[in-house]
Amino acid sequence: MSEFNPGAIANLFADLPDGRGAEVFTRLAEGGAFRLERIVSTGQATPEGAWYDQAEDEWVILLAGEAGLLIEGAAAPHTLRPGDFLLLPAHQRHRVEWTAADGETVWLALHFKPA
């Protein structure tokens, strides 16, 4: 995970890291009850049979690219496109089925303690 330089003006799309080998997580801000990250994916998916089951709520928006997100119990993955966002409550099991392989998929994820 790389770190953001506090106090510096930056652009979420400038100098995107190479995410072809693995997703790249950049912490943009953090407080006692939250963590804000930019995630850059290029063709990654959650390993087969694995699920995310997080202790925190996560609000996520897709800023660029495309992704398929499967929420446990859903019949099929939801296709996310730029501007699509959702709230994943704590312990809502989910997985990334696919991200676009022909360019960067850029996410903004806000993790915070459940109410």
The region of weakest confidence among 5-9, 21-25, 27-31, 98-102 is: 5-9
Q: Minimal CA–CA distance to 19: which of 107, 109, 81, 90? A: 107
| Cα distances (angstroms) measured from residue 107 to each of 30, 34, 73, 86, 115 | 17, 16, 23, 12, 23
Q: Which domains does the chain have, with CATH numbers?
A: 19-112 (2.60.120.10)
C-alpha distance across the termini of the chain, in Å:
27
| Cα distances (angstroms) measured from residue 114 to each of 22, 29, 88, 91 | 29, 18, 11, 10
pLDDT of 18: 75
Please say whether the dihedral angle defined by the alpha carbons of residues 10, 41, 34 and 80, taken in this order, is positive or negative: positive
Q: What is the pLDDT of residues 17-37, one digit of tens each?
A: 776 778 899 999 999 899 999
pLDDT of 77: 96
